[in-house]
Amino acid sequence: GQDVEVDYEEAAKHYKRAAEIGDGGRRREKRADASDVAGENKAGEATKESEGKEKEGEKEEKGEEEKEEEGEEPARAAGLYNYSRCLLLGHGVAMDKKKAVELLQRAVLLNFTTAQSFLAGLYCRGEGVEKDTARALALYEKAAEKDDPQAVHALGHLHLVGAPPSVPVNEEKGIAFLRRAADMGYNAAMSELAEYLWKGGSAAEADDEENKEQQSIRRKEAAKYFLLLAKNGDTTRMKLIGDCYLLGQGVDADAKLAVEWYTAASERKHIEAQIALGDCFFQGIGCARNAEKALYCYKQAASSPSYSPEAQMRIGDLHFQGYSYHSFQLIANSK
């Protein structure tokens, strides 16, 4: 948190209140008060007219309560879901996976889509519950009907890799679900789909011309998603789309665009991008040759926590070969 400090305990307290208040606390109080009033009226010598008015009033009040319950349900479901996650992770409260699952199941009964996806994930992993892929599949499908991107992505993954006996491998179905989630703008689906398509999928090992053409088509689609992910701030994909532009794989070759993406990733401290950008400066690919900038890029990579052996080697080579080997502009100016 920036303006508000992170406080899991305080968050858990309010999530719990949202779940409990929506769970009928205020409504039960209202109904109890209404019953008391009705009892007192019946105990008296009420006229038929007053009894008629009382019934009309009760109907109106009941209608108002039903409307209020409908309005509270989303908040109640969200409270149940968020508090269950606190219990599951031990954030602000003692960890209690059994209670967490109970609350999630109640949120699912309220048709809270996010809870359906989350509970499905628990059944997939066997976390807090006995592993049950069939039940997970049913929950994901229910959430996917409401276009929940997480559920649609999960269905794509399940069909792509398979989860026997409930979910056999079905590449066509898996890719279709992943495309659907990717087109919703869901980054995780874009990433998995792009990686799968780039590697060639089930036809990756084939070496005939038809499959090579199919792989080319798949790589173009993969590059499209790499570019979208890069634009969304994914530094790894910034580096990767830079490679695509540099080598002309999945896109038309464009060294200048490659340098632009390497630069964007380098500014976000992506080590491989810093090295790639240094190589471009050193060789004059997509930019003017500039050894000093190349050395600067290599030093940035070398100063990372991993110390980047690859960057260290490049710096060593530059110094071993001598200044005249890499300072092209200064040599020209000295003549």
Peptide bond into 305 cis (omega under 30): no
What's the Cα-to-Cα distance from 307 to each of 26, 238, 239, 311, rounded to whole Å?
60, 21, 19, 8
Q: What is the pLDDT of residue 55?
A: 54
Query: What per-residue confidence (pLDDT) applies to 327?
Result: 47
Nearest to 129 by CA among 142, 120, 116: 120
Closest CA to 294 of 303, 282, 304: 282
**pLDDT at site 29:** 37
190 phi and psi, to 5 degrees?
-60, -45
Distance CA 122, CA 101 (A): 9
Q: What does the pLDDT look like over 281-291, one tens digit per residue?
A: 999 999 999 98
Contact 238, 270 (CB under 8 A): yes
User: CB–CB of 109/141 below 8 Å?
Assistant: no
What is residue 69's predicted lDDT score, i.e. its pLDDT?
45
**Beta bridge partner(s), residue 163:** 167
Please tell me the predicted confidence (pLDDT) of residue 126: 93
CA 161/CA 178 separation, integer angstroms: 12
- Give the model's pLDDT for residue 204: 54
CA-wise closest residue to 276 among 252, 293, 259, 289: 259
Residue 205's pLDDT is: 55
| Other beta carbons within 10 Å of 68 | 13
Question: Which H or E run contains 79?
Answer: helix 48-89
Q: How far is CA 265 from CA 247, 256, 312, in A?
A: 17, 14, 19
pLDDT at res. 52: 54
| Residues ≥6 apart with Cβ < 8 Å to 212 | none
Question: In the prediction, which pLDDT does 268 show?
Answer: 96
Three-state DSSP class for residue 152: helix
Q: What is the per-residue pLDDT for 70? A: 46
CA neighbor of 82 nearest in space, from 62, 107, 63 = 107
3-state secondary structure 259-293: HHHHHHHHHCCCHHHHHHHHHHHHHCCCCCCCHHH
Tokens representing 264 are 């964007």
Number of C-alpha atoms within 13 angstroms, CB side, residue 127?
Answer: 15
What is the Rg, in whole angstroms, of the alpha carbon atoms belonging to the chain? Answer: 30
From first CA to last CA, the distance across the chain in angstroms is: 58
Tens of pLDDT along the chain (335 residues) come to: 457 889 999 999 999 999 887 555 444 434 444 444 444 444 454 445 555 555 555 555 555 444 444 446 888 999 999 999 999 999 999 999 999 999 999 999 999 999 999 999 999 999 999 999 999 999 999 999 999 999 999 999 999 999 888 899 999 999 999 999 999 999 999 999 999 999 986 655 556 677 788 889 999 999 999 999 999 999 999 999 999 999 999 999 999 999 999 999 999 999 999 999 999 999 999 999 998 999 999 999 999 888 889 999 999 988 887 644 444 443 333 33
Residue written as token pair 């080598």: 247
Instruction: Classify residue 167 by its DSSP letter.
Output: B
Instruction: Provide the angle, in degrees to the nearest 10, between the axes of the packed helices 271-283 and 291-302.
Output: 160
